[in-house]
Amino acid sequence: MHKWITFPHREGTCSKQAHADFPDDAIYEREAGRSGFFGPAAHFHHQHAPTGWSEWQGELRPRAFNFNQVAQASQLCPWFVPHLLHNHDVKIRVWKLAQAMPGLVRNADGDELLFVHQGQAELFCDYGHLTIREGDYVMIPRSTNWRLEPTQPLFLLMIENSDAAYSLPEKGIVGNHAVFDPAVLDVPAIDEAFKAQYSETTTQVQVKRHEQVSVITYPFNPLDAVGWHGDLAVVRLNWRDIRPLMSHRYHLPPSAHTTFVGDGFVVCTFVPRPIESDPGALKVPFYHNNDDYDEVLFYHAGDFFSRDNIEAGMVTFHPAGFTHGPHPKAFQAGREHKKTFTDEVAVMIDARHALQFSQAAQQVENPDYVYSWKQAAE
């Protein structure tokens, strides 16, 4: 176990608690924390916005990518779309599919988490048949055979948990049924649609292992199960079934919205909720140094209340090592409590180890994003 050096201390003029009742002469709070939002932390009160830089040189900077524009995202096999952000724990891609896959695929490197940004499809896999639609998370365990038949063109965010398994977060004192009740999780069924696809037709399975693809040919369709039992399966969760934790007096950290836990990263979901109503409570995400994690946000739908000029299908990337937080207009709107409800839906991936971004991601980067805090203030 890691034992932190802890010594709670107060210095100068500061608030009594984090994220509330700031000093009148220092309205900008900055949190410097370790181990995501679970380790020791210090809360600074500044006279100027911590994101108020005038110039930036070097590679460590906030970035924005438009994943709507990724070249080679349209493929019949997901293993041929490019990685966009990745490390040895997690690989992030987008995949567009408008027609039925000609065969099956299998990921032998790790669990696959699909988030359906757009579209609808019929999923057929070893466990049966499942209809998936916009807003669904679909967790596919490692080495599962599967294929998709779109009924509406698909735009999928793919989050691979490399060489590991997904789990649900510990919910602690709020209990197992908070955020979402496991009873809302759906699994595939051995139904009539699944039975109808039994066949003696030659079928190929494209298996990915160590980022190389092997092809296995069967003289029949291997999705021929007549039944199964156990506690391992493909599972589906729609963001509309998530009931977020809320506090009217305290702005909860992103970790309170964790949906899935990977090996070396977490996947969080931001969904519509009331904004904090207490007069002294912070009403937008706080400025923070998340110095042990890289943060990736995929914007799915709604009004992204802490960001300017961000559209659905875009991604922001805030690497560890600098302070980030709301854009100036959003910060001011929060102070004035102009909104009482946020209607954004976004997927966040927090990675413990540094993420690399590929050439495919660089091709859709907005190089001016680093200056968007300054531009919005002018």
Contact, 266 vs 283, CB < 8 A? no
The candidate with the shortest Cα–Cα distance to 29, out of 317, 331, 306, 308, is: 331
Q: Is 51 exposed, middle or buried (0-12, 13-18, 19+ CB in 10 A)?
A: buried
Q: Is 191 a known ligand-binding residue?
A: no
Contact, 138 vs 347, CB < 8 A? no
Name the one residue in this structure whose structure tokens are 């305290």. Answer: 250
Give 183's contacts (C-beta < 8 A, 6+ positions apart): 177
Q: Is 4 exposed, middle or buried (0-12, 13-18, 19+ CB in 10 A)?
A: exposed
HSE toward the beta carbon, residue 76, CA cutoff 13 A: 9
Q: Is 83 a known ligand-binding residue?
A: no
Does the active-site annotation cover 251?
yes
HSE toward the beta carbon, residue 351, CA cutoff 13 A: 23
Pair of tokens at residue 45: 């009160």
Q: Is 337 a known ligand-binding residue?
A: no
Give 256's contacts (C-beta < 8 A, 6+ positions apart): 244, 245
Q: Which of 251, 257, 300, 318 is catalytic?
A: 251
Contact, 22 vs 29, CB < 8 A? yes
The candidate with the shortest Cα–Cα distance to 304, out of 295, 294, 322, 316, is: 316
Please enumerate, by residue number, every residue annotated as part of a binding site.
288, 294, 324
Please enumerate, by residue number, every residue annotated as part of a binding site for Fe cation.
288, 294, 324
Q: Which residues are designated catalytic?
A: 251
Please enumerate, by residue number, every residue annotated as part of a binding site for homogentisate.
324
